[in-house]
Structure 1
Amino acid sequence: MSQMKSVQTAGTNQVDVVDVDRPVPGPKDALVRIRACGVCGTDVAFLHMGGMPARAHLGGDLVPIPLGHEPAGEVVEVGADVTGLKAGDRVVVNPQAAPTGIIGCGGRYGGMSEYLLIENAEVGTSVAVFPDTVPFDVASLNEPMAVARHAVNRSQAKPTDKVVVLGAGPIGLGAAIWLKLRGVEHVVVVDIIPSRLEKALAVGADAVLDSAEEDVTARLTELHGEAANALGQPRPGTDIYIDAAGAAAVFNTVVDNAKWHAKLVMVAVHKKGSDIDLGGMLRSELTLVPSQGYPTEIFEVTPDLVEHQSRFAQLISHRVPFTEVERAYALALTPGAAEKVVVTFDDVAE
């Protein structure tokens, strides 16, 4: 049986590039040669843990897991029962559709591999085809941009709403793009890293705010006007906040600034519990809207990603060849070292 290289966890903050058997597609499956795969914050979380607890192991032993849930590639083989797909099609993948577990998140297969088996391959469910006018690295943004799109969909933002995105990582910047494409007239992006704020303006944000250097309340009041909470206390006129940062200080900044009937969409994963000012939420009747994954958005975003690819391409800060994949994860593990890292497979032999 032919072999291929695949990346998996190898203890705390370490990866291994291992040789594994190349999957063989069954009648309902497709085999995809990976051409690009993004590195996600979820990958970093798995690396911090050193793997994933094995349910079958007493004592919570950790087992290595294949990494990579943001792949894009080219179909090289399809099973006899597969329809709508053929060799040569360029595809993005729904990691959550795999029956043997989420691709790159504890399932049998990971997208940071030379080849990926698409089980029960079905266009519109497990894969979507994209044209050859879109580079594979940009196509690999499909999955994280679906996460960002779901947050914006959950916000139900209207064109007249004043929106603040907190956190200018890939999800926050993606949310800013989707908000502008949705027709929202004024979008502010907040972060503490100047280069990320510059990127926010480049992808279409109307204003940015450096919360390490500026008074958040004063700046938002300047941008969005003055309103009040339920007790009549002055607050910025921001209608919707999207938390793409995942820090307790960010969450509480929203509570401190929320006007009456403001909305907070939480898409970031908060790694630690935090003390929340419930009284502050009460005083503004702040609506908290959690946003998890992409129930319907995974391929809803694909046509727009194709149409606006030049804007989304700006989110990629580092393109690292697969032969240097350890460096890609090292960048992702270093706070502030990279915005979006995409591993490319152009250097891998056929």
Structure 2
Amino acid sequence: MKAAFIQNGTVHVGDMPDPVPGKGQALVRTHSCGMCASEAHFLHSGETIVALSKVHGGPYAGLDVSRPFIPGHEYVGEVIDYGPGSRRTVKAGRKVTSIPIMRQSGAHAIVGFSHDCPGGFGEYMLLDEDMMLEVPGDLDDDLAAMTEPLAVGLEHARRGRPDKDDITLVLGCGAIGLGVIAGLKLMGIAPIIAADFHEDRRALAIAMGANIVVDPRDLSPYGPLPDLGNRRANLVYECVGLPGLLQQIITGVGFGARIVMGGYCMEPEQLLVFAAQNKRLNIQFAAGEEPQDMELALRAIADGRIDVRPWLGERIGLEKVDAAMRAMSGPGAPVRTVVDPRTL
């Protein structure tokens, strides 16, 4: 099959072996796959991520970045066939997405970060039939591919256990932060404050349901806000992942605030416990989505409750993957570029 793959910190395009499904595994032909910042992390810092997984535990310990692997974990595709002995949970010819985890046939791998489970930057994937969700046939492929990144934000939103009395603040308006905003709005939580340095991302935050947006260079998002009658946020979602930001939040928030850490930071973080204790802060670490988040994300996209169309940028073939990955953090970059591995 044709694929864009990473090897030794470089993106290549070429032929890779067609995956062969085992028991409980579906062979799926990829239609669309979103491009996530985590792929860029592996492009530039793959050895570091693998080393951290080996020391601290994690799903990437078995990855050898000197060998080719096919990324892409935000996907939609068509079921082609199953391995022998499978239950065949979704009929062949139907479209599916899934949590990017493989647990069948003795495997425990992350789809897109595994040598055995190629991701959506290739023509074919293997998916765990127990993890698959059938996608409505009339739902646009690119919208369906946003199910997984939206689900991450929905998971983070509910981890904060927000209620009607909370004033929420979302730091960082990339896909995760925008998903948190959408999730909070879906739960009926208001007001929602969003903070980001980029004007276009602040505009997207409003489109997703934020009530107030702040440029942190002009106004501290942690302090009393004039637009809220000088009230301040008491529930903060960190969706950036930069070292030092947690301590900044601890210093800035008020007594009894709750903090949800969703940003993916791979560097050591120092914090002054004394300050957090004096304010009686609660810090919750959030991670990836769970089945309930995927199901809600897919339903909400399909029925129009959450409109992810503003997230979508260019739809590209395999030959443009390298350039798109290197430009994805630049000014004006879309929230998601979508790869169609059926085209070069």
Query: What interval of TM-score do these two structures reach, taking the shorter chain for normalisation?
Result: 0.7 to 0.9
Query: 1:193 — aligned with what?
Result: 198
Is this contact kept in 2: 1:325–1:343, CA < 8 A?
Answer: no
Query: 2:72 — aligned with what?
Result: 68
Is this contact kept in 2: 1:163–1:240, CA < 8 A?
Answer: yes
Query: 2:57 — aligned with what?
Result: none
Is this contact kept in 2: 1:319–1:341, CA < 8 A?
Answer: no
* Partner residue of 1:49 out of 45, 52, 60: 45
Letter in 2 for 1:159: K
Question: CA–CA distance in 2 between the matches of 1:284 and 1:7?
Answer: 49
> So what's the TM-score if we normalise by structure 1?
0.84
What is the CA deviation profile of residues 31-65 of structure 1, one whole-angstrom value per residue up to 9, with x for unaligned ones? 1110111111211111012567598x9xx984333
Runs (5+) with no aligned partner, structure 2:
55-60
Question: CA–CA distance in 2 between the matches of 1:26 and 1:217?
Answer: 51
1:304 lines up with 2:312 in the alignment:
no
Question: CA–CA distance in 2 between the matches of 1:37 and 1:70?
Answer: 5
How far off is 1:71 after superposition? 1.3
Question: Could you say which structure has the greater relative contact order, defined with CA pairs below 8 angstroms and 6 or more residues apart?
Answer: 2
**1:74-93 → structure 2 map (5 Å cutoff):** 74-79=78-83, 81-93=86-98
Query: 1:39 — aligned with what?
Result: 35
* Partner residue of 2:123 out of 95, 105, 114: 114
What SS is found at the alignment partner of 1:248? Answer: coil
Query: 2:160 — aligned with what?
Result: 155
Is this contact kept in 2: 1:256–1:280, CA < 8 A?
Answer: yes
What SS is found at the alignment partner of 1:237? Answer: coil
Question: CA–CA distance in 2 between the matches of 1:247 and 1:309?
Answer: 31
Question: CA–CA distance in 1 between the matches of 2:232 and 2:46?
Answer: 44
How far off is 1:137 after superposition? 1.0
How far off is 1:201 after superposition? 0.9
What SS is found at the alignment partner of 2:312? Answer: coil
Identical amino acids, percent of aligned pairs: 25
Query: 1:288 — aligned with what?
Result: 283
> So what's the TM-score if we normalise by structure 2?
0.86
Question: CA–CA distance in 2 between the matches of 1:306 and 1:317?
Answer: 19
- Count of residues paired in the alignment: 327
Question: CA–CA distance in 1 between the matches of 2:218 and 2:317?
Answer: 37
What SS is found at the alignment partner of 1:317? Answer: strand
How far off is 1:224 after superposition? 4.0
Question: CA–CA distance in 2 between the matches of 1:254 and 1:127?
Answer: 38
What is the CA deviation profile of residues 78-121 of structure 1, one whole-angstrom value per residue up to 9, with x for unaligned ones? 346333311221111221234251111235222211111224x2
How far off is 1:206 after superposition? 0.5
How far off is 1:143 after superposition? 1.4
Letter in 2 for 1:112: F
Task: Label 1:217 to 1:92 Cα distance change in 2 as closer, same or farther (>3 A).
Answer: closer
**1:1-350 → structure 2 map (5 Å cutoff):** 4-12=1-9, 14-26=10-22, 28-50=24-46, 53=50, 62-79=66-83, 81-98=86-103, 99-109=107-117, 110-119=119-128, 121-122=129-130, 126-217=131-222, 220-226=224-230, 236-296=231-291, 297-308=293-304, 311-332=307-328, 334-345=329-340, 348=343
Letter in 2 for 1:101: A
Question: CA–CA distance in 2 between the matches of 1:48 and 1:245?
Answer: 18
How far off is 1:153 after superposition? 1.2
Runs (5+) with no aligned partner, structure 1:
227-235
Larger of the two Rg values belongs to structure: 1
Task: Label 1:245 to 1:53 Cα distance change in 2 as closer, same or farther (>3 A).
Answer: closer
What is the CA deviation profile of residues 107-149 of structure 1, one whole-angstrom value per residue up to 9, with x for unaligned ones? 5222211111224x23xxx210011232111111111122111
What is the CA deviation profile of residues 239-275 of structure 1, one whole-angstrom value per residue up to 9, with x for unaligned ones? 2000001123532332122222110000001232233
Question: CA–CA distance in 1 between the matches of 2:3 and 2:141?
Answer: 18
Task: Label 1:312 to 1:341 Cα distance change in 2 as closer, same or farther (>3 A).
Answer: closer
Shifted more, 19-28 versus 287-296: the winner is: 19-28
